Amino acid sequence: MGEQIEFPKNYTVYMAEVMNALQKGNIVTAIDYMKKAYRIKKEDSLNILLVSSLLQVGDNEEALLLADSKPDFYEADEKRLLIYVEVLIENNQILKAEKYINEQLTNTLAKYSESWIRLADQLNELKELQEKNRQKEEEKLLRNLFSLPSLNTLEQFSRMKDIYKLTNPHLIQLAEQLLVNPYIHPFNRATLFSLLTERGMDRQIKYLWFGESKDINPINTLSIEESPTAARLFEELDAVLSKNPSLYQLAENELKTLLLMLYPFEKDSIVCGEERLWIEAIIQTLELTEETQINDENTKLLDIARRIKKIREELLRFEGQ
């Protein structure tokens, strides 16, 4: 069967049913008839009646959808605006509700000051509740993140996304423990420290780097993505392997791995001017062609290749976890 066709005269019938249901205190039935009438005529008066009724029964999202369809209507009258702001509060639209409330509290022509004060109190209670819930959730995340050393590598990687949800005090608290923990994967240490730099944290902190505890301040360090050393290496990689896409991809992945392992001390490990040697050593360690074999006489290149081998050994220590 096709969709039922509503005739204009039905609007009067439905509104009569609305009044009848409201007189009997049956608001759910009244809302059902209001919706039917509203589909025929989207009258302003019916909109606000339906919004108020939906708010009364807790259908807050639908009430907001209807109210948002007629913003000028609600903003044009202070009493209607009170209803709209209440709908916003019930839908956790805090910033928007706060804007209207602050405007009316400073409006000397406002007629319903007590109602605006009541809504302001209601909004503050909601904000306090949300803050308490946020703190509880963050404390739970922090406890879970403190347990990272007991997890295997894949589980650590999966949980690391939660560090971005932490506020700075909790992030520092976490970093002070994890950055010196030998059971934290080096990639995760690098990611955590990089986030400290992105947030501009000014605090001397210890960092476990290849078994050595080193002091470093995030505010004096760039993030992984902003590292000049990394930029120079990738420029060199382009120059050497731009015409060899398959080898380029392998070398690029290897370079990214090495930089993560060396971060945040990559600039101390890779001396400016030696980028070509590092790229050549990376290519050699991939053992793809005879041309990339290192001559024992090239002591600098041989030394870099040994350092790359050491970095790989450190990484392999976590692969079995």
d(CA 3, CA 117): 47
Indicate the pLDDT class of residue 321, thresholds 50, 70 and 90.
low
- For the cut 70, the answer to whether the pLDDT of residue 2 exceeds it is no
The pLDDT assigned to 290 comes to 45
Name residue 208's beta-bridge partners.
213
Name residue 13's beta-bridge partners.
none
Q: Which of 209, 292, 270, 279 is nearest to 248 (CA)?
A: 279
pTM: 0.76
189 contacts 208 by C-beta, under 8 angstroms: yes
d(CA 82, CA 173): 44
For 115-126, the pLDDT digits (tens) are: 999 999 999 999
The pLDDT assigned to 1 comes to 45
Segment 277-283 mean pLDDT: 93
184 contacts 149 by C-beta, under 8 angstroms: yes
Indicate the CATH number for domain 8-109.
1.25.40.10
d(CA 30, CA 20): 8
- 148 by Cβ neighbours in 10 Å (0-12 / 13-18 / 19+) ranks as buried
The pLDDT assigned to 286 comes to 83
The pLDDT assigned to 51 comes to 98
The pLDDT assigned to 320 comes to 62
What is the average pLDDT value for the chain, to the nearest integer?
A: 92
Indicate the pLDDT class of residue 319, thresholds 50, 70 and 90.
confident
Tell me the percentage of the chain whose pLDDT exceeds 90. Answer: 82
Q: Of 7-11, 248-252, 272-276, 303-307, which gets the smallest average pLDDT?
A: 7-11
- For the cut 90, the answer to whether the pLDDT of residue 287 exceeds it is no
Segment 6-21 mean pLDDT: 86
91 contacts 79 by C-beta, under 8 angstroms: no
**Tokens 């703190």 -> residue:** 135
Q: Of 20-24, 169-173, 193-197, 271-275, which gets the smallest average pLDDT?
A: 271-275
The pLDDT assigned to 298 comes to 73
The size of the chain, in residues, is 321
Indicate the pLDDT class of residue 108, thresholds 50, 70 and 90.
confident
The pLDDT assigned to 288 comes to 46
- For the cut 50, the answer to whether the pLDDT of residue 183 exceeds it is yes
The pLDDT assigned to 4 comes to 56
- For the cut 90, the answer to whether the pLDDT of residue 196 exceeds it is yes
Q: Of 67-81, 162-176, 189-203, 288-302, which gets the smallest average pLDDT?
A: 288-302
Segment 178-203 mean pLDDT: 96
For 24-68, the pLDDT digits (tens) are: 999 999 999 999 999 999 999 999 999 999 999 999 999 999 999
